[in-house]
Amino acid sequence: MASATAVPGLRPSQQPLLWVALGLAALYLPSYWDAAHGLWQTDEFGHAPLILIIAGWLFWQVRHPVASAPVAPRQGSGWLLLALGLALYALGRTAGVSSVEFASQLFIAAALLLLLKGTQALRLAWFPVFYLVFMVPLPGTLIDAMTEPLKHWISIIVVDVLHLFGYPIGRTGVMITVGQYELLVADACSGLNSMFSLAALGALFIHIMGRKSRLHTALLVLSIVPIAFAANIVRVISLVLITYHFGDAAGQGFLHGAAGIVLMLVALAAFFVLDWVLARWLTDRQAPGIVRA
């Protein structure tokens, strides 16, 4: 006799996945809807929908290995993580704390893998689960504490670099004066959030490249913050030059958004170059010596 909760047309092994998908949709579709009409429309967290799409793609990539993993549910740790995730979701949703609400995704995703398949499935899907962390909005206090020093140093470097090329440029704090124009180095241009989105790009790059050398991977990981910082400098320099040569309207209009694309392209190019250099360097170091007769 078929179960009352069985769905016609689905194999028994697929039934739990359907109910899991419906449960996740019931939990997070309202959260995504609210964020799409608020949080995700800001410059600081506009990258979150892209992170969600990438995370979905990453889960899709590991679907076959996870499905092939032995079924060995970890009831204790699975239910504990699920309870923690649901508690965080309820707290964040009711209190309006987006950081807590979206952080619950990591715990719930890990819990479901443990409950449905077991430890090996979680080990196979660890990176997609981890990647959800880049959807979590950073707390405002952390942003304020770290953004001001970042803006300060970027302003100094931008002014010093352009001064070397003869531009009439100066600064007062994070206010840059170039010619007749004044530009405020805003949080979105050089703050922690842009570095967070670039860290997401770097983590994805490292995962896709899949280098077997631990030293290679470690050096790429350590390069994420310096590359993100340098890319922000290039972005601010671009905006200053656009404003100086084409006027304030150009600097604040379409070209301002295009500078964000420049930011990502510069960071991606830097990751490719560094990866290539490390691959050549580590190969040369590990290559056995050639004995000639």
Query: What are the tens digits of pLDDT across the range 166-193?
Result: 899 988 887 888 888 888 776 555 556 6
Q: In angstroms, what CA-CA distances link 265 with 27, 162, 217, 272?
A: 35, 21, 21, 11
For CA atoms 272, 50, 81, 5, the dihedral sign is: negative
More confident residue, 191 or 211: 211
**Distances from the Cα of 257 to the Cαs of 136, 137, 236, 252, in angstroms?**
23, 21, 12, 8
Vertex 50 angle, CA 17 and 228, to 5°? 130
Q: Where are the domains of the chain?
A: 12-134, 141-285
Q: What percent of the chain has pLDDT over 70?
A: 81
Give the count of alpha carbons within 13 A of 238, CB side only.
21
Q: Indicate if the pLDDT at residue 13 is higher than 60.
A: no
CB-based contact 59:128 (threshold 8 Å): yes
**What's at 42, amino acid-wise?**
T
pLDDT band at 28 (very low <50, low <70, confident <90, very high): very high
pLDDT of residue 3: 47
Average pLDDT on 187-200 reads 68
Residue-level pLDDT at 113: 94
pLDDT at 214 over 90: no
The token pair that represents 142 in the structure block: 């952390």
Question: Nearest to residue 78, comparing CAs of 22, 24, 118, 105?
Answer: 118
Residues in the chain: 293
pLDDT tens per residue, range 43-68: 677 788 989 999 999 999 998 899 88
Is 189 among the residues known to form the active site? yes
Largest CA distance in the chain: 84
Give the Å distances, CA to CA, from 74 to 83, 117, 141, 142, 212: 14, 8, 37, 35, 30
- Please report which confidence band the pLDDT of residue 257 belongs to, taking 50, 70 and 90 as the band edges: low
Q: What is the pTM of this model?
A: 0.77
- The pLDDT value given to residue 291: 40
The active-site residue, picked from 74, 93, 171, 235, is 235
Q: Which residues contact 64 (CB under 8 A, 6 or more apart)?
A: none
In whole angstroms, how far apart are CA 188 and each of 47, 147, 184, 194, 260?
A: 12, 9, 11, 6, 10
In degrees and rounded to multiples of 5, residue 72 shows phi and psi of -140, 70
Alpha-carbon 109 to chain mean position: 17
Active site includes 11?
no
pLDDT of residue 162: 93
pLDDT in tens, 119-137: 999 999 999 999 999 999 8
Amino acid at 103: A
In this predicted structure, which of 13-22, 100-109, 166-175, 268-277 has the lowest mean pLDDT? Answer: 13-22
Among 32-46, 76-90, 170-184, 205-219, the range of highest mean pLDDT: 76-90
The more confidently predicted of residues 268 and 253 is: 268
Show Cβ contacts of residue 163 under 8 Å, excluding neighbours closer than 6 positions: 169
Q: How far apart are CA 237 and CA 153, in angstroms?
A: 13
Q: What percent of the chain has pLDDT over 90?
A: 35
Res. 256 pLDDT band, cuts 50 70 90 = low
Q: Which of 178, 74, 177 is nearest to 119 (CA)?
A: 74
Of 217, 225, 163, 155, whose CA–CA distance to 194 is shortest?
225
The pLDDT value given to residue 293: 34
3-state SS class at 205: helix
* pLDDT reading at 29 higher than 90: yes
Cα 253 to Cα 202: distance, rounded to the nearest angstrom: 28
> What value does the mean pLDDT take over residues 148-161?
86
Residue 101 reports pLDDT greater than 80: yes
List the catalytic residue out of 74, 93, 171, 189.
189
Q: Which stretches within 96-177 are classed as H helix?
A: 98-116, 119-124, 126-131, 140-164
Do strands 181-184 and 169-172 pair parallel, antiparallel, or not at all (unpaired)? Answer: unpaired
Above 70 in pLDDT, residue 285? no
